Structure 1
Amino acid sequence: MSSTPIQRRADAPTTQEYGCDFRRILPWGSTGPSDTGMGVCTVAPGTTTTPHSHADHEHFYVVSGTGLLHLDGESTAIGPGDAFVVDSHRRHHFENASAGEELEMVSVWSMGSFGAAP
């Protein structure tokens, strides 16, 4: 048995957050907001998430599906393999215009703007 802690998909409860199905992966066992963390956001076909902003910076990676990122009034098409950052206090939401495919994204957030080039 490995000493490396693993968060299994089946063990991460799904909640409704900002209009999408959200599974908090890190920090371990968290059911609410945290200063840093990682989760998986799934936007159902034909739905739009709730426009919102927050103090933390959020990095996204699109795993599957296609849709639109709406950020401060501008819209950009997103799809598998795309990565982007939503900086602190920027109003954003997602739209999945597909009739049958989910839009799934990994979300990593932090109160600091980690990942910035020096």
Structure 2
Amino acid sequence: MHIRTAAGDELIRKNGCDIRQLYPWDGVVTPPWNSTLCSIRPEESSTPHGHDTDETFIFISGRGHARIGDEERDVAPGDVIYIPHGTNHVVTNTSPDDPLTFVSIYWLQPAQ
């Protein structure tokens, strides 16, 4: 059994989020996708940006608002958003007190 704890992982600040890298997991597995645990501080937003990778957000705690391309909506725990590569996106934490936390899974599309 392989176990990682939050206390043992480094948090980095990237794109306006506090990020904990989940995969790839050195020495354990290198899947065809990467993932991070992302947290946006109260009343803050991620930096608007896009990627060369497709991405999925799975919201696990907090409440907020997401803008993906030209579409906008509120988000809550249990919501899942798919973001096609190259699409500009930003997530805003609307809470004055609690972080907005989600898992980001991202992958490159196979060359066609």
Pairwise same-fold verdict (TM > 0.5):
yes
Aligned with residue 24 of structure 2, among 27, 30, 49: 27
Using the TM superposition, give the Cα deviation of residue 5 of structure 1 relative to its aligned residue in structure 2, in angstroms. Answer: 2.3
Which TM-score applies when normalising by structure 2? 0.87
| Structure 2 residues not aligned, in runs of 5+ | 27-31
d(CA) in 2 for partners of 1:60 and 1:99? Answer: 22
d(CA) in 2 for partners of 1:78 and 1:15? Answer: 23
Cross-structure match for 2:29: none
Deviation per CA, 1:84-108: give whole Å up to 9, x if none.
1111000001001110011000111
Aligned with residue 106 of structure 1, among 91, 96, 103: 103
Using the TM superposition, give the Cα deviation of residue 112 of structure 1 relative to its aligned residue in structure 2, in angstroms. Answer: 2.4
Give RMSD over aligned pairs: 1.5
Matched residues, number: 105
d(CA) in 1 for partners of 2:9 and 2:104? Answer: 14
**Helix, strand or coil for the counterpart of 1:81?**
coil
Deviation per CA, 1:51-71: give whole Å up to 9, x if none.
000110111110100101111
| Equivalent runs, 1:76-95 vs 2, <5 Å | 76-95=73-92
Identity of aligned residues (%): 28
Cross-structure match for 1:11: 8
**Helix, strand or coil for the counterpart of 1:40?**
strand
Contact 1:7 1:28 in 2 (8 A): no
**Helix, strand or coil for the counterpart of 2:7?**
helix
Using the TM superposition, give the Cα deviation of residue 49 of structure 1 relative to its aligned residue in structure 2, in angstroms. Answer: 0.9
d(CA) in 2 for partners of 1:54 and 1:15? Answer: 18
2:103 partner letter: V
2:68 partner letter: L
Using the TM superposition, give the Cα deviation of residue 13 of structure 1 relative to its aligned residue in structure 2, in angstroms. Answer: 0.8
Cross-structure match for 1:116: none
| Structure 1 residues not aligned, in runs of 5+ | 30-34, 114-118
Cross-structure match for 1:73: 70
Contact 1:44 1:102 in 2 (8 A): yes
